[in-house]
Amino acid sequence: MYKVAVLISGSGSNMESLVRYSAEHPGIYKVTHVISDREAGGLKRAENLRVKNVTQLNRKDNNFNEKLLDILNSENPDAVVLAGYLSVIPPEIIKRFEGRIINIHPSLLPLYGGMGMHGLNVHRACLESGNDESGCSCHIVTEDVDKGEVLVQYRVGVEPSDTPEILRDRILPFEHRALPEGLVKLLTKKENI
């Protein structure tokens, strides 16, 4: 059974989708550690879901990324999943887990990705462009933010009356499908792990 570490910054709904998927599809992977970079509602959610290890870090600590790497080294997961994680992963962690870190992004990448493109900024950019569709992408994390190989995408229609909040809420349930599906795709491509 593959071991998975999940990094979060927020409410942890994407993290929950990973834990629920593993319960519904037993024997593929287990979320063994949830780590946040700040105070986050998702920590309590992880405890309620009985995740074995739950750790809160502080992204403002000088040695924050060293602590994160130490935890990941001691956990030694097969994959690391960014599930609504807002800090940038430094090159030393990307190299340590090369090709084994994935992220969920609320747009059809390569559209509306890159530094600063998170949360409502993404949906605002989409609406301003006048596109009649958006969606979400589960992709491999590389040093170029939001540029790694896309594993799974779901497309979602955009209505003329949409606000960024409405579009966010329409896309989120598709993130909850794309993220575990992308993870399983990564784990079951044997050459990756």
Residues with catalytic function: 105
Q: Which of 83, 117, 183, 184 binds ligand GRF (CB under 6 A)?
A: 83
Q: Residues 153 to 192: which contact ligand GRF by CB under 6 A?
A: 168, 172, 175
Q: Which stretch binds ligand GRF (CB under 6 A): 10-18, 48-56, 88-96, 140-148?
A: 10-18
| Residue 55 touches ligand GRF, criterion: CB under 6 A | no
| Residue 10 touches ligand GRF, criterion: CB under 6 A | yes
Can you read off the two tokens belonging to residue 65? 């990324």
Cβ nearer to ligand GRF, comparing 78 with 146: 146
Between CA 174 and CA 176 the distance in angstroms is 5
Q: Residue with CB nearest ligand GRF?
A: 84
Beta-strand ranges (E) seen in 19-84 are 29-36, 53-56, 79-82
Between CA 127 and CA 148 the distance in angstroms is 24
Distances (CA, A) of 84 to 42, 63, 97, 101: 10, 22, 19, 13
- DSSP, collapsed to helix, strand or coil, labels residue 36 as strand
Between CA 20 and CA 31 the distance in angstroms is 10
| Residue 152 touches ligand GRF, criterion: CB under 6 A | no
- DSSP, collapsed to helix, strand or coil, labels residue 3 as strand
Can you read off the two tokens belonging to residue 57? 């870090």
- DSSP, collapsed to helix, strand or coil, labels residue 191 as helix
Binding mask 32-51 for ligand GRF (x = CB under 6 A): ----------x---------
Binding mask 84-123 for ligand GRF (x = CB under 6 A): x-------------------x-x------------x----
Can you read off the two tokens belonging to residue 163? 């606000």
| Residue 131 touches ligand GRF, criterion: CB under 6 A | no
Q: Which residues bind ligand GRF (CB under 6 A)?
A: 8, 10-14, 42, 83-84, 104, 106, 119, 168, 172, 175
